[in-house]
Amino acid sequence: MIDITNLNPGPAVGIGYRAAIGEWTLKNLQHFDVLEITVDHCLSSGQFTASAIYDLVGRIPMTAHGIGLSIGTDVPLDLAYLDKVATIVERLQAPAYSEHLAFTRAPGRDLANLLPVPKTEAVAESIIAKVRTVQSRISVPFLLENITYLFEWPDSEMSDAAFLNLICGETGAGLLLDIENLYVNAQNHRFDPCKFLDALPAGLVKEVHLAGGVTVSQNYLDRPVLADSHSHPVPDGALDLLDNTLARQTPDAIVLERDDRLHAGDEILDDLKRIRNRIAGQHIGNAHGRTAVGSAS
Protein backbone atom coordinates (compact mmCIF):
# COMPACT_ATOMS: atom_id res chain seq x y z
CA MET A 1 0.00 0.00 0.00
CA ILE A 2 1.25 3.48 -0.86
CA ASP A 3 1.13 6.04 1.93
CA ILE A 4 -0.17 9.20 0.33
CA THR A 5 0.70 11.25 3.39
CA ASN A 6 4.45 10.76 2.90
CA LEU A 7 4.67 12.64 -0.35
CA ASN A 8 3.88 16.15 0.82
CA PRO A 9 3.86 18.03 4.10
CA GLY A 10 0.13 18.76 3.70
CA PRO A 11 -2.69 16.72 2.26
CA ALA A 12 -2.20 15.09 -1.14
CA VAL A 13 -4.11 16.98 -3.84
CA GLY A 14 -5.60 15.37 -6.91
CA ILE A 15 -8.68 14.63 -8.97
CA GLY A 16 -11.26 11.94 -9.40
CA TYR A 17 -10.16 9.82 -12.36
CA ARG A 18 -12.61 9.90 -15.27
CA ALA A 19 -12.10 7.63 -18.28
CA ALA A 20 -13.37 10.33 -20.64
CA ILE A 21 -10.27 12.41 -19.85
CA GLY A 22 -7.96 9.47 -19.25
CA GLU A 23 -5.38 10.63 -21.81
CA TRP A 24 -5.44 14.20 -20.51
CA THR A 25 -5.00 12.87 -16.97
CA LEU A 26 -1.93 10.87 -18.01
CA LYS A 27 -0.40 13.90 -19.73
CA ASN A 28 -0.93 16.00 -16.60
CA LEU A 29 -0.02 13.39 -14.01
CA GLN A 30 2.70 15.67 -12.59
CA HIS A 31 -0.02 18.03 -11.34
CA PHE A 32 -1.61 15.41 -9.09
CA ASP A 33 -0.38 13.82 -5.84
CA VAL A 34 -3.24 11.34 -5.84
CA LEU A 35 -6.05 10.05 -8.04
CA GLU A 36 -9.37 8.92 -6.66
CA ILE A 37 -10.69 5.84 -8.44
CA THR A 38 -14.39 5.06 -8.50
CA VAL A 39 -14.39 1.31 -7.91
CA ASP A 40 -17.67 0.92 -9.78
CA HIS A 41 -15.93 2.12 -12.95
CA CYS A 42 -13.52 -0.81 -12.60
CA LEU A 43 -16.51 -3.14 -12.25
CA SER A 44 -18.80 -2.02 -15.03
CA SER A 45 -17.06 0.25 -17.51
CA GLY A 46 -15.44 -2.53 -19.49
CA GLN A 47 -12.03 -4.01 -19.90
CA PHE A 48 -10.39 -0.98 -21.54
CA THR A 49 -11.26 1.43 -18.73
CA ALA A 50 -10.34 -1.06 -16.00
CA SER A 51 -6.96 -1.77 -17.65
CA ALA A 52 -6.22 1.95 -18.01
CA ILE A 53 -6.88 2.36 -14.28
CA TYR A 54 -4.83 -0.64 -13.18
CA ASP A 55 -1.94 0.54 -15.37
CA LEU A 56 -1.67 3.54 -13.04
CA VAL A 57 -0.81 1.37 -10.02
CA GLY A 58 2.71 2.23 -8.92
CA ARG A 59 2.77 5.43 -11.00
CA ILE A 60 0.66 7.52 -8.65
CA PRO A 61 -1.08 6.85 -5.31
CA MET A 62 -4.78 6.08 -5.66
CA THR A 63 -7.60 6.14 -3.18
CA ALA A 64 -10.81 4.15 -3.66
CA HIS A 65 -14.31 5.57 -3.79
CA GLY A 66 -17.67 3.87 -4.32
CA ILE A 67 -21.07 4.89 -5.64
CA GLY A 68 -22.90 1.57 -5.78
CA LEU A 69 -23.20 0.33 -2.19
CA SER A 70 -26.42 2.16 -1.21
CA ILE A 71 -25.61 1.60 2.45
CA GLY A 72 -28.78 3.46 3.46
CA THR A 73 -31.21 1.09 1.76
CA ASP A 74 -33.00 -0.89 4.44
CA VAL A 75 -31.96 -4.30 3.09
CA PRO A 76 -28.86 -6.41 3.80
CA LEU A 77 -25.69 -5.29 2.02
CA ASP A 78 -24.77 -6.96 -1.26
CA LEU A 79 -21.83 -9.01 -0.02
CA ALA A 80 -20.84 -10.20 -3.49
CA TYR A 81 -20.49 -6.55 -4.53
CA LEU A 82 -18.46 -5.80 -1.41
CA ASP A 83 -16.10 -8.69 -2.10
CA LYS A 84 -15.52 -7.40 -5.63
CA VAL A 85 -14.81 -3.96 -4.17
CA ALA A 86 -12.34 -5.51 -1.70
CA THR A 87 -10.42 -7.09 -4.60
CA ILE A 88 -10.28 -3.79 -6.48
CA VAL A 89 -9.18 -1.85 -3.40
CA GLU A 90 -6.33 -4.31 -2.91
CA ARG A 91 -5.33 -4.16 -6.55
CA LEU A 92 -5.27 -0.35 -6.45
CA GLN A 93 -3.19 -0.47 -3.24
CA ALA A 94 -5.59 2.17 -1.95
CA PRO A 95 -5.11 3.42 1.62
CA ALA A 96 -8.86 3.89 2.18
CA TYR A 97 -12.27 3.11 0.68
CA SER A 98 -15.10 5.62 0.88
CA GLU A 99 -18.85 5.51 0.22
CA HIS A 100 -21.80 7.84 0.59
CA LEU A 101 -24.05 7.94 3.62
CA ALA A 102 -27.09 7.65 1.39
CA PHE A 103 -29.44 5.35 -0.44
CA THR A 104 -29.97 5.21 -4.18
CA ARG A 105 -32.37 2.33 -4.55
CA ALA A 106 -35.05 0.10 -3.11
CA PRO A 107 -35.97 -3.26 -4.63
CA GLY A 108 -37.32 -2.58 -8.13
CA ARG A 109 -36.29 1.08 -8.35
CA ASP A 110 -32.88 2.70 -8.71
CA LEU A 111 -32.74 6.47 -8.94
CA ALA A 112 -28.93 6.39 -9.38
CA ASN A 113 -28.92 9.63 -7.40
CA LEU A 114 -27.81 9.82 -3.80
CA LEU A 115 -30.76 10.33 -1.46
CA PRO A 116 -30.67 11.10 2.25
CA VAL A 117 -31.85 8.71 4.94
CA PRO A 118 -33.96 9.83 7.90
CA LYS A 119 -31.58 11.09 10.56
CA THR A 120 -32.88 9.07 13.49
CA GLU A 121 -31.17 6.85 16.08
CA ALA A 122 -32.91 3.77 14.67
CA VAL A 123 -31.59 4.40 11.18
CA ALA A 124 -28.13 5.19 12.59
CA GLU A 125 -28.13 1.82 14.37
CA SER A 126 -28.94 0.00 11.17
CA ILE A 127 -26.17 1.81 9.30
CA ILE A 128 -23.68 1.22 12.11
CA ALA A 129 -24.21 -2.53 11.69
CA LYS A 130 -23.62 -2.23 7.96
CA VAL A 131 -20.49 -0.15 8.39
CA ARG A 132 -19.13 -2.90 10.62
CA THR A 133 -19.87 -5.43 7.88
CA VAL A 134 -17.99 -3.30 5.36
CA GLN A 135 -15.07 -2.98 7.76
CA SER A 136 -14.99 -6.74 8.23
CA ARG A 137 -14.65 -7.39 4.49
CA ILE A 138 -12.47 -4.50 3.29
CA SER A 139 -8.91 -4.44 4.56
CA VAL A 140 -8.41 -0.65 4.58
CA PRO A 141 -10.10 2.10 6.63
CA PHE A 142 -13.67 2.85 5.58
CA LEU A 143 -14.80 6.46 5.18
CA LEU A 144 -18.36 7.77 4.94
CA GLU A 145 -19.14 10.78 2.78
CA ASN A 146 -21.73 13.45 3.54
CA ILE A 147 -24.06 13.92 0.55
CA THR A 148 -25.90 16.84 -0.91
CA TYR A 149 -29.65 16.48 -0.59
CA LEU A 150 -32.60 18.33 -2.04
CA PHE A 151 -35.23 17.08 0.38
CA GLU A 152 -35.34 16.27 4.07
CA TRP A 153 -37.24 13.42 5.70
CA PRO A 154 -40.07 14.81 7.81
CA ASP A 155 -39.13 12.62 10.78
CA SER A 156 -35.40 13.46 10.88
CA GLU A 157 -34.53 14.31 14.45
CA MET A 158 -30.77 14.88 14.32
CA SER A 159 -28.50 17.40 12.64
CA ASP A 160 -26.26 16.26 9.79
CA ALA A 161 -23.18 16.49 12.00
CA ALA A 162 -24.76 14.66 14.96
CA PHE A 163 -25.89 11.82 12.67
CA LEU A 164 -22.43 11.45 11.09
CA ASN A 165 -20.68 11.72 14.45
CA LEU A 166 -22.88 9.01 15.94
CA ILE A 167 -22.15 6.53 13.13
CA CYS A 168 -18.46 7.36 12.80
CA GLY A 169 -18.00 7.42 16.59
CA GLU A 170 -19.54 3.98 17.07
CA THR A 171 -17.67 2.34 14.20
CA GLY A 172 -14.37 4.18 13.98
CA ALA A 173 -15.13 5.02 10.36
CA GLY A 174 -13.54 8.22 9.08
CA LEU A 175 -15.27 11.03 7.25
CA LEU A 176 -14.81 11.93 3.62
CA LEU A 177 -15.94 15.52 3.96
CA ASP A 178 -17.46 16.78 0.73
CA ILE A 179 -17.11 20.51 1.22
CA GLU A 180 -19.11 21.35 -1.91
CA ASN A 181 -21.98 19.22 -0.58
CA LEU A 182 -21.81 21.05 2.73
CA TYR A 183 -21.69 24.41 0.93
CA VAL A 184 -24.68 23.49 -1.27
CA ASN A 185 -26.75 22.08 1.60
CA ALA A 186 -26.04 25.13 3.77
CA GLN A 187 -27.24 27.45 1.00
CA ASN A 188 -30.28 25.37 0.02
CA HIS A 189 -31.42 24.54 3.55
CA ARG A 190 -30.19 27.74 5.17
CA PHE A 191 -27.93 26.59 7.96
CA ASP A 192 -24.47 27.68 9.05
CA PRO A 193 -21.83 25.34 7.57
CA CYS A 194 -19.25 26.49 10.11
CA LYS A 195 -21.42 25.07 12.89
CA PHE A 196 -21.37 21.73 11.04
CA LEU A 197 -17.57 21.85 10.84
CA ASP A 198 -17.26 22.92 14.48
CA ALA A 199 -19.28 19.88 15.53
CA LEU A 200 -16.88 17.38 13.93
CA PRO A 201 -14.25 15.94 16.30
CA ALA A 202 -10.65 16.76 15.36
CA GLY A 203 -9.11 13.99 13.28
CA LEU A 204 -12.42 12.70 11.90
CA VAL A 205 -11.92 14.07 8.38
CA LYS A 206 -9.60 11.75 6.45
CA GLU A 207 -10.30 12.95 2.93
CA VAL A 208 -11.97 15.97 1.34
CA HIS A 209 -13.97 16.45 -1.86
CA LEU A 210 -14.28 19.78 -3.63
CA ALA A 211 -16.27 20.62 -6.75
CA GLY A 212 -18.27 23.39 -8.38
CA GLY A 213 -21.91 23.41 -9.41
CA VAL A 214 -24.63 25.59 -10.87
CA THR A 215 -27.68 27.49 -9.70
CA VAL A 216 -31.01 26.12 -10.92
CA SER A 217 -34.22 28.14 -11.20
CA GLN A 218 -37.53 26.47 -12.06
CA ASN A 219 -41.09 27.73 -11.89
CA TYR A 220 -42.00 24.91 -9.50
CA LEU A 221 -39.30 25.87 -6.98
CA ASP A 222 -39.79 28.45 -4.24
CA ARG A 223 -36.33 29.86 -4.85
CA PRO A 224 -33.16 29.17 -6.87
CA VAL A 225 -31.36 26.03 -5.76
CA LEU A 226 -27.66 25.18 -5.90
CA ALA A 227 -26.94 21.90 -7.66
CA ASP A 228 -23.81 19.83 -7.09
CA SER A 229 -23.20 19.27 -10.80
CA HIS A 230 -19.39 18.88 -10.68
CA SER A 231 -19.25 21.07 -13.75
CA HIS A 232 -17.68 24.40 -12.84
CA PRO A 233 -14.81 25.89 -10.82
CA VAL A 234 -14.93 25.51 -7.05
CA PRO A 235 -16.71 28.55 -5.56
CA ASP A 236 -14.69 30.80 -3.26
CA GLY A 237 -17.22 30.11 -0.51
CA ALA A 238 -16.31 26.40 -0.61
CA LEU A 239 -12.60 27.25 -0.48
CA ASP A 240 -13.30 29.37 2.60
CA LEU A 241 -14.85 26.27 4.16
CA LEU A 242 -11.69 24.36 3.21
CA ASP A 243 -9.70 26.93 5.24
CA ASN A 244 -12.04 26.37 8.13
CA THR A 245 -11.69 22.59 7.80
CA LEU A 246 -7.90 22.62 7.64
CA ALA A 247 -7.77 24.66 10.83
CA ARG A 248 -9.33 21.72 12.68
CA GLN A 249 -8.69 18.63 10.59
CA THR A 250 -5.70 16.93 8.93
CA PRO A 251 -7.06 15.10 5.89
CA ASP A 252 -4.71 12.84 3.94
CA ALA A 253 -6.14 13.76 0.56
CA ILE A 254 -8.12 16.52 -1.13
CA VAL A 255 -9.84 15.42 -4.33
CA LEU A 256 -11.37 17.71 -6.94
CA GLU A 257 -14.42 16.12 -8.54
CA ARG A 258 -15.35 16.98 -12.12
CA ASP A 259 -17.99 15.13 -14.14
CA ASP A 260 -19.17 17.67 -16.68
CA ARG A 261 -17.45 20.16 -18.99
CA LEU A 262 -14.49 17.84 -18.79
CA HIS A 263 -12.90 19.54 -21.79
CA ALA A 264 -12.12 22.53 -19.56
CA GLY A 265 -8.80 21.08 -18.39
CA ASP A 266 -7.40 24.52 -17.64
CA GLU A 267 -10.19 25.12 -15.15
CA ILE A 268 -9.36 21.83 -13.43
CA LEU A 269 -5.67 22.69 -13.15
CA ASP A 270 -6.51 26.20 -11.98
CA ASP A 271 -8.79 24.78 -9.28
CA LEU A 272 -5.94 22.58 -8.07
CA LYS A 273 -3.71 25.65 -7.84
CA ARG A 274 -6.37 27.50 -5.85
CA ILE A 275 -6.66 24.52 -3.48
CA ARG A 276 -2.88 24.32 -3.04
CA ASN A 277 -2.77 28.06 -2.35
CA ARG A 278 -5.34 27.63 0.40
CA ILE A 279 -3.31 24.78 1.91
CA ALA A 280 -0.12 26.87 1.72
CA GLY A 281 -1.92 29.82 3.31
CA GLN A 282 -3.05 27.56 6.11
CA HIS A 283 0.49 26.39 6.79
CA ILE A 284 1.79 29.96 6.84
CA GLY A 285 -1.12 30.98 9.06
CA ASN A 286 -0.46 28.14 11.48
CA ALA A 287 3.27 28.86 11.50
CA HIS A 288 2.50 32.40 12.57
CA GLY A 289 0.19 31.23 15.28
CA ARG A 290 -2.93 32.58 13.61
CA THR A 291 -6.16 30.70 13.67
CA ALA A 292 -7.41 30.34 10.14
CA VAL A 293 -11.15 30.67 10.13
CA GLY A 294 -13.30 30.95 7.05
CA SER A 295 -16.97 31.32 6.62
CA ALA A 296 -19.23 30.67 3.71
CA SER A 297 -20.81 33.70 2.19
Q: Would you count residue 115 as binding another protein (CB under 8 A)?
A: yes
Which is closer to another protein, CB of 67 or CB of 247?
67
Q: Would you count residue 68 as binding another protein (CB under 8 A)?
A: yes
**Least distance to another protein from the beta carbon of 226, Å?**
11
CA–CA distance from 11 to each of 6, 111, 132 (Å)? 9, 34, 27
Stretch that binds another protein, among 27-35, 46-54, 245-253, 279-287 (CB under 8 A): 46-54
Q: Would you count residue 104 as binding another protein (CB under 8 A)?
A: yes
Which is closer to another protein, CB of 116 or CB of 251?
116
Q: Would you count residue 128 as binding another protein (CB under 8 A)?
A: no
Stretch that binds another protein, among 1-9, 30-38, 157-165, 218-226 (CB under 8 A): 218-226
Q: Would you count residue 111 as binding another protein (CB under 8 A)?
A: yes
Helix (H) or strand (E) holding 188: helix 179-189
Helix (H) or strand (E) holding 127: helix 121-137
Which is closer to another protein, CB of 3 or CB of 74?
74
In sequence order, what DSSP letters do the residues of 236-266 get, joined into one string?
HHHHHHHHHHHTT---SEEEE---SSTT-HH
Which is closer to another protein, CB of 65 or CB of 206?
65
CA–CA distance from 24 to each of 21, 103, 263, 269 (Å)? 5, 33, 9, 11
| Degrees to nearest 5, angle at CA 183 with 178 and 185 | 95
Angle between helices 179-189 and 236-246 (to 10 degrees): 120
The residue among 269, 208, 207, 209 whose CA lies nearest residue 233 is 269
- The residue within the footprint of another protein, chosen from 202, 222, 266, 287 (CB under 8 A), is 222
Positions that interact with another protein (CB under 8 A)? 40, 43-44, 46-48, 50-51, 67-68, 72-75, 103-113, 115, 117-118, 122-123, 126, 150-155, 216, 218-222, 225, 227
